[in-house]
Every structure is written in C-alpha cells, then in structure tokens.
Amino acid sequence: MKRFVRLLTQLPLATTGGAFLGVLIALVGAVLSTMPLQETTHPLAIFAIAPLPAALGVWIDWARLWRPSPRTRFWSFAVLLITGIAAVEVAFSATGVDAALAASAFPFVAGVVVLLGSHGLVFLTRRGIGLAGFDLACGTVRRDESERIVVQTPKGVLEVARSATQDLGSNRSIDLSVGSNIAVLARIQESVAGADPFRTERRTQARTVLGVSSSPSNLARTVRARARAWTLYLLLLAAAGSAFAAAASYQPERDCQVRSFLTKTF
C-alpha cells in the first residue's frame, strides 16, 4: 500500500486535476454560448479562464516533483502571480491590442533583462570583476556533508549550503567526492576572519548561489542555460498573459442600426 501511495504521489496529479477542471469550465462556457446571451459584455472571458487551473497545476507539479531551490520556487510563483493579476486587471480596464501589450509587458521585459544580465555577469566574473556582489570561487571539495559542501579555495574555506541551489541536490550532475574540482558563482560573505584567535583559517559562506559546476567553463554554460530557461518561462508567461487579456477583453461589435430598427418595429 505504501509503495502504491509513493508511486501515486510521483504522478502529475495537480496538472491532471487542473486540466480536468479547465475542461469543465470550457464545457460550461460552451453550453452558455448556445443560450441567448448576446448581451454579454465579455463572451470569451470564461474560455480564457479555462486554461488557468492547468497552468497552476503544472507549476505545482514542477515545484513538487523537480524540487528546485526555495529561491527558484519563490520567484517563479511570484512572477506567475504578478502576471496573472496584471492580466486580469488590464483585461477589464483596456481592450484589444492595448490589453494584450499591457499584460505581456512585465514578464517580457523581465525575460530580456535576465538573458542579457546573465551574459554580462558571466563575462565580468570570469575576468575577476564582481557584478552586483557576485564572485567566482574555484577550488576543490574538502568535505561533502549532508547539509553543506566545504570547498578549499586559494582564499580560504568556502561553505555552500545544499539548500541554496539545486546543483547540489538529488539531480546534480557534478562530482562532489573529496579532492574534485568545483566552481561556485555566488555572493560570498566572510564568516570567520583569518585573525580569529580560535581558528587559523579564513572561512566564508556562499549566499545567493547562481550556479555550481566542476569548472568555470562548465559553470558559464550552466548559468547561461539557467538564464535561457528563465527567459523562456517569462516569455511564455508574456504570451499567455497577452492571450488571456485579449480573449477576456474581447467585446463583439453590435449593429446599432439593426437594434434601433427592431426597437421601433416591435
């Protein structure tokens, strides 16, 4: 029984449930569209709402099954929520092209910033220039512990928490055995100074880890690939928000002359 429950929890249940709920919403919209509801201000709004439960279910299953870092979960959901609220807001305050452009503006600009910023960050850090407080630390693995990785660098000992990045989780693709090479791109904060009377070595901690790999070149590819994934996610949100706002704000044109004629006649 426990094995069956474990296998069941590994299935994309949220996506399946969201898709089923979306189909029900679409069916309700199809039934209502056959009724005499010509006076409805936004006739396509219910069809625009139908894909939203499935989209939320995809995010829930991704966060639950892939197990990304807490920072990745937070920002991905925050951008998803902000885009959804913005799309709903502009859908009923603007019409046509204006609504579509307004709903897609935020995630589209954010995607361009992420893509360009990642290339600039990698370019500067590989040349020893810190950008926004990020530094590149290279060394060898000194200890592989359950909650952190201890790295020996030329500047001292660097501690990297496993929860700070998914590169050190169960889906990692780098060698963490003692003595293996490792490169970390993160904000580095000093925790123990070299002049501490109880320790003879300088210790630092990695904060806001952007990537961990076996070499600087591999790390650059990892950061760029992650930036492309974020950009694709943001551009998909932009397209989805634009489509939702355009469909939800659609208002059919009414023939005023025919209505005036019917009113006078009957």
User: pLDDT digits over 60-88, tens only?
Assistant: 999 888 888 888 899 999 999 988 888 88
CATH code for the domain in which residue 179 is found: 2.40.50.140
Task: Determine the structural domain holding residue 12 and report its residue range.
Answer: 1-66
- Tokens representing 97 are 């092209």
Residue 264 lies in a domain: no
- Give the integer Cα–Cα distance in Å for 138 and 132: 19
- Percent of the chain past pLDDT 70, that is, above it, reads 81
**Structure confidence at residue 47 (pLDDT):** 87
Q: Is there a single domain that holds both residue 130 and residue 212? A: yes
Residue 256 forms part of a structural domain: no
Number of domains in the chain: 2
Count CB-CB contacts under 10 A for residue 213.
Answer: 21
Predicted local distance difference test score (pLDDT) of residue 77: 94
Is the residue at 25 inside a domain?
Answer: yes
- Beta-carbon contacts of residue 245 (< 8 Å; ≥ 6 apart): 87, 90, 91, 94, 99, 100, 102, 103, 104
Q: Per-residue pLDDT tens for 153-204? A: 888 888 888 887 877 776 677 878 888 898 888 888 877 665 555 566 778 8
16 domain residue, yes or no: yes
- Give the CA radius of gyration of the chain: 26
Model-level pTM? 0.76
According to DSSP H, which parts of the chain are helical?
A: 2-9, 13-33, 45-49, 52-61, 70-91, 96-125, 216-248, 256-265
Structural domain includes residue 233 = no
Place 11 in a pLDDT band, splitting at 50, 70 and 90.
confident
Regarding whether 215 and 139 lie in a shared domain, the answer is yes
How large is the angle between the packed helices 52-61 and 13-33, nearest 10 degrees? Answer: 180
Q: Is residue 43 part of a domain?
A: yes
Based on the fold, state whether residues 136 and 219 are members of the same structural domain.
Answer: yes
